[in-house]
Chain A
Amino acid sequence: MSLSILSVLFTPSVLLAMFAGVVIGMFIGILPGLGATMAISLMIPVTFGMQPVPAIVLLASLYTTVTYGGSFTAILLNTPGSSSNAATALDGYELTKKGKGLQAIGVASVSSLFGGVFGGIMLLLIAPQLARIALKFSGPEYFLIAILGLTLIGSLAGDDPLRGLISGTIGLVIGLVGLESSTAYARFTFGNIHLYDGIHLVPTLLGLFTISQMLIQMERLGDKGKIDVGQVENKDLELNGHFFPTKEEMKVYFPIMCKASVLGLLIGILPGAGGDIGSWVGYNEAKRSSKGKDKELFGHGSLNGICGSESANNAVCGGAYIPLLTLGIPGSGAAAVLLGGLTIHGITPGYSLFSKQADIVYPIIWGYILSNIVMIFIGILIAKKVAKIASIPMNIIIPIVIVLAFIGSYANAQSMLDVLLTIFFGLLGYFMKKAKFPTAPTVLAMILGPMAEENLGASLQMRKGLTTIGLFASRPLCWFFAILIVISLIAPFVSAYKRNKVGKVSNSDAFMED
C-alpha cells in the first residue's frame, strides 16, 4: 500500500464513514427483511454532501456488514436478516436450540471475515482479469447455472428427496407469478399490479422461515400458557461455548472457507447470477466437502454449513465489485444501486479507473477490506450479549419477532400485500413443516425458476437460425455446466449404490466371521 493511499485512507472522514457504515450495516442486517440493497438505497442521499472516497467507503462497508449482520438473526431466531442469509438459518437455528448459538455466531463471524477479505484481495490483485469472466456468460450459460442450482434441491431435501422435490415445485410455481419476461403476459396476477413484478423474495422468506417457526414455537407454549425457557431445548444447558473456532476446528473450516469463497466470488462476478444464490452454493459445497458424522449433521446443526454459506455470501460482495469497478456492470442488485452512488460522486467505472483515478479507487478497495475487520470487532463486542436472546422466554420473543418480520416485509416495497403474503407463507411454511416438507427448496426454486425461464427465453431469442440444442452445443461453457448437471443428478445414486455395496460387504464379512 503506497503512502498516498494510506494518506487518503487513514483520514478522519474516511475512518468515520467506515465505522458508520459498519455500525449502521450491522443493525440493518440484524433487522429482518431489509437487506443490503435497501440499506445502500437509504444511505445514498446521505452521501450527497460527502467527498467521493468516504462516501463510497461508507456504502461498501454497509454492503458487507449487512450481509454479515443478517447471520445473527438467522442463527438465533431462524429469521434471515436478508435473503443471502437464508442458508445460514437452516443449521444456525438448530445449533441455537442445542445451546451452541454463540459458537455458531463465532463461525459465521470468522467465515464472513475470510470471505469478505478474500473478495477484497481478489478485487485488488486481479480484478481486470476476473472481470473478463463476466463477459463469457450470457443467456444459455445462466440458464444452465440455474438448472445446476436446482439440482442442489436434492441435497437440501435431507432424507426425503420426494418431499424436497415437491417443495421445490411449489417454489417454481410461486416463481411463475408476475409478468412473463419475453411476452409481458401477466400470469397469476389476478389484475393486481403489486404482483406484476412477481412475489417478492423477502416476504416469502420471512413467512416460510420466520413466521412458520414462530407458529411452531407458539404450539409449544401449549397448555402451560408460557414457558420459562427460550429456544434452548434443554433449559439446564448454559449458553456458553467459545466464540472463536479452535485450531483443530479451523483445520476443518479453512478448506471449506477457501472453496466457498471462490464460488461466492464467481457468483458475485456474474451479473446474471444474483448474489442470493451465493450462500446456497457455499452451503452445498460445505456439505459436499464434509464426510461421515459431519455430513449427517447438515440440516440438524452443522457448523460446516454455516462456514460455507457465510464465506460465500460475503465473498459475493467482493465479487460484485469486480465487474462494477472494471466494467461498470453491477454483479448484484446491491451493486447496481452502488453504481448510482459512484456516478453521483463522479467516479466512472472502467479499466481506466485504476489508472486515472487510482487515488480514489484504491483507498475505496482498501477501505472495503478494512471494514470487514472492523465489522468483526463489532461482532465480537455484541455477540455474547446478542446470543443471550436464545435464553429469553418464548412468550416475549415470539411477538417481537413477528412484529419485526412484518416491518421487514412492509419496508421491502411499502406494500401491504407483502405483509399479507408473509402471513400466507407463514401458514404455508407451518403446514409444510408439520408434514415434514423442507422449506429451503421452495426458496431456492423461487430464486432459480425465474432465472432459468428468463435466460431460456433470451437464449431462444438469440438463436439466429440455430436450433436450441445447436445453440447450447456451440458454446463450450454450456458443455461444462451440462456435465456438472449430469454429475450432480447421478451423484446421489452413485453414493447410494456405494453405500449399499459397502453395507453388503460388511454384512458378508460378519457372516463369514460367524
Chain B
Amino acid sequence: MRKVLLVCFMVALVFALPLTAQGGNETVVSSSPSYEGWPHGKNITINVCSGAGGSTDLGVRLLLPYLQEQFDATFAVRNESGGSGWVCWLNHIADKPDGLSLILVNDTMDYVRLNPNSPHKESSDDFQLLACEVVDISALAIRTNDKRFSTYQELVEYAKKNQVTVAVSDLGNEDANVIYLMNNKLGTKFEPVVIASSGQAVASVIGGHVDVYSNNIASCSTQVKEGNLKPMVVFNGSRSNLWPDVPTFEEVTGIKLNCHSARGFMMPKGGDPALVNHIVDCLKKAIENPEFKKKMAETYLEVVYYGPEDFKKLFKEAAADVVAIKSDLGW
C-alpha cells in the first residue's frame, strides 16, 4: 500500500512538471490585483531570445518581482533560443501589439542584417522598442600570470608588432567587432579565435593557449574575482561601476570607441501610443528600482535604463560601427 501511495505521489509530481515544460520554459509570477485598468488581469508574456539560466535570462527573471509591483498583471517568461535571437524575434514580429507579448532584444539586431549572407532584413524599425535594461560593456582580459604586458598600453604596443590571439564566442557580435575596430583605429594585429563554448574559451586563455579574452564584463567577472583573469580595458565612455579601477579605451588611447551588448524590451509595432507610454513608464520604474540594481550588480550585470528613443540610438550606433569594419568581417 505504501509503495502504491509513493508511486502515486511521484506520478502526480511528474505530471505537474510537464505542464510547465509545454509552455516552453515558462515561469509564472502572480501579482496582487491592486491596479485598475490595463491589462485587466490578463497574462503578459516576456519572450526571451536565449536559453534559461544565462545572463540574459537571469536579468529578466530578477526583474520580474519589480515588474509585478508596477503592472497589475501575471507574468510568464518564455525562452526561445536559436539563430542568435532571430528565432524569438521573428516568431513574435506579427503578434498583436496589445502589450501582452513583450520581447527581449539586444542591439545585434540592426547590424546582423548587414551580413550579405543573412536572410534577415528586418531591424529594430520593424518593432516598437520600449526600454533598455542592461548595458553589458565589452572588455578585454588577460591571464593574471602573463608577464608580457601588465597594462593595456603595453598590450597595444605589443600587438602593433606581434600577432595577438583573442578568444571570441562568435564572429558578428560585439566580442569580435571590437577586435576589428581596434585594429582599424590602432594598427594592431589582434586576431580573433572563435571558440563557441565560453568555458572552453576561458580555459584556453587561462591555460595560455590564447592570449586575450574578449567578452562582456558579466562574462569575465567570475574569473576576474577569482584572480584567474586580469581586466585590461573597457569599451565605454566612462568607467564601469562594476570595475571602477579598469580604464576605458578612450582614457588610454585618446580615441573614442564604445562597444557593448545593450539588452532590453520591445513589442510588436503598431500599438496604441498611450498603451506604449504606460508600458514604458512601468518598465522605467521597475528597472530603476535601487534594490533591483543592487541584485543585478551582485551578478555582475550593470543596469542602465534608456527610454525608447535613446535605446534606438544605441542600435544605430552599433550598426554604424559595424559598417566601418564590414570588409574585415568579410561582409
Contacts and interface: CB of A to CB of B under 8 A. Distances in A.
A181 interface: yes
Contacts of A339: 53
B117 A42 contact: no
Contact of A135 (B6, B61, B206): B206
Contact of B27 (A26, A27, A45, A352): A45
A54 interface: no
Interface string B36-64: 00000000000000011111011001000
B207 A135 contact: yes
Contact of B207 (A48, A136, A197, A330): A136
Interface in B186-236: 191-200, 202-204, 206-210, 222-223, 225-228
B225 A134 contact: no
A344 B282 CA distance: 25
A415 B87 CA distance: 9
Give the interface SS of chain B, mostly helix, strand, loop or mixed.
Answer: mixed
Contacts of B206: 135, 327
A43 to B, nearest CB: 9
A382 B120 CA distance: 50
A348 B222 contact: yes
B84 interface: yes
A191 B117 CA distance: 10
Given A185-B117, A350-B225, A343 B203 contact: no
A45 B20 CA distance: 11
B117 to A, nearest CB: 6
B226 A343 contact: no
A193 interface: yes
Interface string A450-482: 000010011001101100000000000000000
Contact of B58 (A40, A191, A343): A343
Interface stretch (B163-171, B243-251, B252-260, B303-311): B163-171
A414 B80 contact: yes
B90 A193 contact: yes
Interface string A316-350: 00000001000111110001111111011010111
Nearest to B171: A184
B170 A41 contact: no
A430 interface: no
Contacts of B18: 31, 407, 411
B320 interface: no
A28 B10 CA distance: 12
B13 interface: yes
Give the interface SS of chain A, mostly helix, strand, loop or mixed.
Answer: helix
A411 to B, nearest CB: 5
Interface string A105-141: 0000000000000000000000000000011111100
Contacts of B24: 411, 414
A329 B204 CA distance: 11
Nearest to B22: A411
Nearest to A41: B52
Contacts of A349: 222, 226
A45 to B, nearest CB: 4
| Size class of the A contact interface (CB-based, 8 Å) | 35 or more
A182 interface: yes
Nearest to A382: B7
Contacts of B54: 337, 340
Contact of A329 (B203, B210, B225): B203
A259 B103 CA distance: 48
Contact of B197 (A48, A272, A457): A272
A328 B226 contact: yes
A42 B55 CA distance: 15
Interface string A377-388: 010011001000
A188 interface: no
Nearest to B55: A340
A38 interface: yes
Greatest chain B CB density within 10 A among A41, A136, A415 is at A41
Contact of B53 (A135, A331, A340, A411): A340
Contacts of B273: none
Contacts of A327: 202-203, 206, 223, 226, 228
A45 B76 CA distance: 12
A-B complex: 4 closest residue pairs judged by Cβ atoms: A350-B226, A27-B14, A135-B207, A138-B209
Interface of A: 20, 23-24, 26-28, 31, 34, 38, 40-42, 44-45, 48, 134-139, 142, 181-186, 191, 193-194, 196-197, 271-272, 323, 327-331, 335-341, 343-344, 346, 348-352, 378, 381-382, 385, 407, 411, 413-415, 454, 457-458, 461-462, 464-465
Given A31-B18, A186-B117, A462-B165, 11 more contacts: A41-B53, A135-B207, A139-B209, A193-B90, A197-B82, A327-B223, A327-B228, A328-B202, A411-B21, A414-B80, A461-B194
29 contacts: A23-B13, A24-B17, A27-B13, A38-B21, A41-B51, A41-B52, A44-B52, A44-B53, A134-B207, A184-B117, A184-B170, A193-B119, A197-B83, A272-B195, A323-B203, A327-B203, A327-B226, A327-B228, A329-B199, A329-B202, A337-B51, A343-B222, A348-B225, A414-B80, A457-B194, A458-B193, A458-B195, A461-B165, A464-B191
